Structure 1
Amino acid sequence: MRNTPFTRSQSAASCPAHADAKRDAGSGTALPGGKSAHAAGIAQWDPRSDAVQANQIAAYDRMRRQCPIAASQYGYTSVFLHSDALHVVLDHKTFSSAVSRFPSVPNGMDPPEHTAFRALIEPYFDAPHMAAFAPRCHAIARQLVDQLPAAGSVEVISAFAQIYALQAQCAWLGWPDTLHEPLRQWTLKNYRATLSRDQQAQAAVAREFDHYITELLAARRAAGAAAPDDVTTHLMHNESISRPLTEDEIVSILRNWTVGELGTIAASVGILMEYLATHADIQRLLRDTPEHLPAAIDEILRIHAPLILNRRITTRNVELGGHVLPPGTRIAVLWASANRDEAVFGDPDEFRLDRDPGLNLLYGAGVHVCPGAPLARLELLAIMQALLGGTEWLELDPQQAPQRAFYPGSGFSSLHMRIQKQ
């Protein structure tokens, strides 16, 4: 696959420099630990400003070229460079993952506690599990592509990408079809609560999702030996950490698997469809040589990240980006910037099938590298194979401009397309 490189370079659209990248003296925001960003000489920016939201990827490119790190009024210091992102995620002793207000197994844990739980969940994503799920995953993808209209315009985020993410994830977990619509509505509420930054609203949405899970677990316990033989039931009886998991631990694992997967898979499908619709040569290449799809999917999602960031918190004084950060500094590792770093990738918009896959941080790195990457790759390959195999062409609806998702979301909140069917 990688012996036949294909490259395509697209110049980034020019935009004025973000006015909030650096603020005047005296306007610095206090960082955790009592040290002000201004006193530390750290640049300031607002990741939620209109200028950034207009095109997050372009804004991160501008910030990366101006400064390696920048602090915001929301309490996080953003990391833009590939080398600094690796520094953070590979040093879990200095940059802790215990940042959430809610239990997070194992994402919000550090070794050695993280190690045992990571060993517990990794087998669910191994090759035999993926091979067993693949036929069902491909069938879901083909069915949804078959249902796409052959004429007119369709809004593919809500009517296709989100539905696929829900159906595929529920099928993998063994959850009933009756949960598809409630979980779709929950996803929208969760997105609105995140945008509002209302902690009470976020907590209420989190409790609602946990309620869905606890009901599923209760039904399986009531069924006893008649409970479905699926991932969820198996997790309930897993004792690989030398004891049964607690209810809170099971709920946290299932929440992480579901919430994270639904958002990123739906965003990824939208990003991939928009990219092919706006890059006719690459769409034709992948239709003619679908064996390039795995590498192409990773490369397109390097160019336009479906996941904006992950969070860490410093445990001690550490130098990063030319500044000494005190303990308690909250860090936002911007994958959407690091994966476009010119020092590593050259022109960040150049599409290449021969890149070193080890440089792509699409699924993170270090001890917290995404354990669900095999499932995500399977789901994305299945939907793209179904799309390219079941349609003649994908194009944007010229009457309906794509609407970009807002931070901390990525991709598109609305994407109208015309699907030419066979």
Structure 2
Amino acid sequence: METSEPTGPITDEWIEQHFDHLSPELAREFHPTLARARSRCPVTRSDQYGGFWVTTRYEDVLRIAQDWQTFSSELGITVPNNGPTMKILPVTIDPPLQRTFKRLINTQFTPAKVGPWEEPTRALVNRLIDAFIERGECDFMADFARPFPGLAFFDLALHAPADDFEEVNGYAMQAALPHLPESRESMMKLARWIGALVERRRAEGPRGDVVDAVLGAEIEGRPITTAEVVGTVQLLVLGGLETTAGVLGAAMLRFCAQPEIPALLRERPDLIPAAVEELLRLDGSFICIGRTTRHDTEIDGHQVKAGEPVILYWASANRDEVEFPDPDTFDLDRTSNRHIAFGAGPHRCVGSNLARMNLRVALEEIVRRLDDIKLRPGVDIGFHSTFNRAPHTVPITFTPVARDGG
């Protein structure tokens, strides 16, 4: 695999000609590097991995995401890498077939469907906080951010055994890092687990959930295949675990760096929904996606040939100075926040209602129960940043108090 890892600080030449989305250096200097790209070369062609285009400006990213007739998901969702090539549905197919699969799961994640999950979600959040609040310290990623969305999703959406969560969460974490050699095997292990879950659910009575909806689906007049069932549930698992964890981890880092934010939200919990949107804009963990051109086209005057991959950086678009004045500032008074943290176009994330509810409930309880939050000094946080971004570890201290209820 051809790579060009910067040996020191990321240079303008690297950004303009050798951009490598898998680079650990990019993970460390992520937002500053994307800001330089927006300024110097908002559309550029990298010579890595056989060549691909990088787009970083809001206007271009949004237009490409909406133009599935020109920029296909089916022809290639990522630039070449070591990751799996199996189809994860419906994100690796285009309309009109994509719409058929998306309708199956859309109906299961409407506000009306997600609303009744709020009470059990809040109970789970408080059980997790109870496990560490008396210590006055925790690794927020390991103790809360990673287990919370997965446990909630297993229980409320999939009705899967909670005992399987740790194993499956490990597969999902590795599968989200396609540059690692173990990524492909983790994706296959995840597929096998889903296959076993599906067979178990076939033998059980219906529960009226998303698994039932997928199992009973007809695709273009025929029953859905087992491979299609697995591919669809796989998207739900990958989208429901690591992405929300990444936003929570980044939010906690921001709370530690700007303690006035949790203080304000503790005093004004009515501002938490707006805070969720600003945190998604600034630190959304779904950072980019790939498309492949169906035919010769152009992006901002650059001639792009048929079959060339293009990476769309949602994370960069959400900090575009043209769309968001003072884009790096957490600002609850923005008159417009048209962020695209959940993507855009026909492939926009189906789980946005669930993610927003999870984030809102988590933040409500975190600011209510944790006070004087500080990041433990001298720790290398580290980030993984390929198509999702999340801190490896967020060790924090806070004022120890008794658990709720004594």
TM-score for both structures, normalised by structure 2 = 0.88
**C-alpha distance in 1, partners of 2:110/2:175?**
30
**C-alpha distance in 2, partners of 1:137/1:357?**
29
User: Is residue 78 from structure 1 mapped to residue 54 from structure 2 by the alignment?
Assistant: yes
Q: Following TM superposition, by how much is the alpha carbon of 1:229 offset from its aligned partner in structure 2, in angstroms?
A: 4.8
Match of 2:21 in 1: 47
Match of 1:182 in 2: 167
Cα–Cα, structure 1 residues 188 and 121, in superposed 2: closer, same or farther, change >3 Å? Answer: closer
For residue 372 of structure 2, give the secondary structure of its aligned residue in structure 1: strand
One-letter amino acid of the structure 2 residue matched with residue 125 of structure 1: F
Tell whether the 8 Å contact from 2:141 to 2:245 is kept in structure 1 after alignment.
yes
**C-alpha distance in 1, partners of 2:18/2:228?**
38
For residue 107 of structure 2, give the secondary structure of its aligned residue in structure 1: helix
Tell whether the 8 Å contact from 2:217 to 2:223 is kept in structure 1 after alignment.
yes
Tell whether the 8 Å contact from 1:130 to 1:374 is kept in structure 2 after alignment.
yes
**C-alpha distance in 2, partners of 1:76/1:317?**
14
Tell whether the 8 Å contact from 2:374 to 2:398 is kept in structure 1 after alignment.
yes
Which of 246, 264, 269 is the aligned partner of 2:225? 246
User: Is residue 302 from structure 1 mapped to residue 295 from structure 2 by the alignment?
Assistant: no
Pairwise CA RMSD = 2.2
**C-alpha distance in 1, partners of 2:41/2:327?**
17
Tell whether the 8 Å contact from 1:44 to 1:70 is kept in structure 2 after alignment.
no
Tell whether the 8 Å contact from 2:263 to 2:367 is kept in structure 1 after alignment.
no
For residue 303 of structure 2, give the secondary structure of its aligned residue in structure 1: strand
For residue 138 of structure 2, give the secondary structure of its aligned residue in structure 1: strand
Tell whether the 8 Å contact from 1:390 to 1:421 is kept in structure 2 after alignment.
no
More deviation, 46-55/102-111 = 46-55
One-letter amino acid of the structure 1 residue matched with residue 36 of structure 2: R
Match of 1:68 in 2: 42
**C-alpha distance in 1, partners of 2:218/2:176?**
34
Which of 162, 171, 175 is the aligned partner of 2:146? 162
**C-alpha distance in 2, partners of 1:46/1:364?**
21
**C-alpha distance in 1, partners of 2:346/2:388?**
24
Match of 1:56 in 2: 30
- What is the identity percentage for the equivalent residue pairs of Structure 1 and Structure 2? 26
User: Is residue 114 from structure 1 mapped to residue 93 from structure 2 by the alignment?
Assistant: no
**C-alpha distance in 2, partners of 1:105/1:407?**
20
Which of 11, 17, 31 is the aligned partner of 1:19? 11
**C-alpha distance in 1, partners of 2:202/2:385?**
40
Which of 222, 242, 250 is the aligned partner of 2:203? 222
Match of 1:88 in 2: 64
Q: Following TM superposition, by how much is the alpha carbon of 1:21 offset from its aligned partner in structure 2, in angstroms?
A: 3.3
Match of 1:359 in 2: 338
**C-alpha distance in 2, partners of 1:178/1:128?**
28
Q: Following TM superposition, by how much is the alpha carbon of 1:242 offset from its aligned partner in structure 2, in angstroms?
A: 4.6
Tell whether the 8 Å contact from 2:108 to 2:209 is kept in structure 1 after alignment.
no
One-letter amino acid of the structure 1 residue matched with residue 246 of structure 2: A
One-letter amino acid of the structure 2 residue matched with residue 78 of structure 1: V
Gaps of at least 5 residues in structure 2 are 1-7, 78-84, 402-406
Q: Following TM superposition, by how much is the alpha carbon of 1:156 offset from its aligned partner in structure 2, in angstroms?
A: 1.4
Tell whether the 8 Å contact from 1:93 to 1:315 is kept in structure 2 after alignment.
yes
Tell whether the 8 Å contact from 1:20 to 1:45 is kept in structure 2 after alignment.
no
More deviation, 213-222/227-236 = 227-236
Match of 1:235 in 2: 214
Deviations 1:277-322 (A, max 9, x none): 1111111111111111111112122112311201111111111132
Which of 103, 117, 138 is the aligned partner of 2:122? 138
Cα–Cα, structure 1 residues 289 and 242, in superposed 2: closer, same or farther, change >3 Å? Answer: farther
**C-alpha distance in 2, partners of 1:415/1:321?**
39
One-letter amino acid of the structure 2 residue matched with residue 63 of structure 1: A
User: Is residue 265 from structure 1 mapped to residue 270 from structure 2 by the alignment?
Assistant: no
One-letter amino acid of the structure 2 residue matched with residue 105 of structure 1: L
Cα–Cα, structure 1 residues 88 and 181, in superposed 2: closer, same or farther, change >3 Å? Answer: same
**C-alpha distance in 1, partners of 2:125/2:59?**
37
Tell whether the 8 Å contact from 2:250 to 2:283 is kept in structure 1 after alignment.
yes
Tell whether the 8 Å contact from 1:272 to 1:297 is kept in structure 2 after alignment.
no
Match of 1:34 in 2: none
For residue 298 of structure 1, give the secondary structure of its aligned residue in structure 2: helix
Tell whether the 8 Å contact from 2:109 to 2:354 is kept in structure 1 after alignment.
yes
Gaps of at least 5 residues in structure 1 are 1-15, 24-41
Match of 2:107 in 1: 123
Q: Following TM superposition, by how much is the alpha carbon of 1:129 offset from its aligned partner in structure 2, in angstroms?
A: 0.9
For residue 11 of structure 2, give the secondary structure of its aligned residue in structure 1: coil
Cα–Cα, structure 1 residues 61 and 17, in superposed 2: closer, same or farther, change >3 Å? Answer: farther
**C-alpha distance in 1, partners of 2:337/2:222?**
36
User: Is residue 321 from structure 1 mapped to residue 300 from structure 2 by the alignment?
Assistant: yes
User: What is the number of residues matched between the two proteins?
Assistant: 383
One-letter amino acid of the structure 2 residue matched with residue 155 of structure 1: D
Tell whether the 8 Å contact from 1:166 to 1:183 is kept in structure 2 after alignment.
no
Deviations 1:114-168 (A, max 9, x none): 1222222211111221112222212111111121243353221122211112201
**C-alpha distance in 1, partners of 2:279/2:318?**
11
Match of 1:337 in 2: 316
One-letter amino acid of the structure 2 residue matched with residue 214 of structure 1: G
User: Is residue 346 from structure 1 mapped to residue 338 from structure 2 by the alignment?
Assistant: no
Cα–Cα, structure 1 residues 54 and 325, in superposed 2: closer, same or farther, change >3 Å? Answer: same
Q: Following TM superposition, by how much is the alpha carbon of 1:347 offset from its aligned partner in structure 2, in angstroms?
A: 1.7
**C-alpha distance in 2, partners of 1:249/1:50?**
34
Which of 183, 188, 201 is the aligned partner of 1:202? 183
One-letter amino acid of the structure 2 residue matched with residue 64 of structure 1: R
**C-alpha distance in 2, partners of 1:248/1:49?**
32
User: Is residue 395 from structure 1 mapped to residue 374 from structure 2 by the alignment?
Assistant: yes
**C-alpha distance in 2, partners of 1:266/1:291?**
23
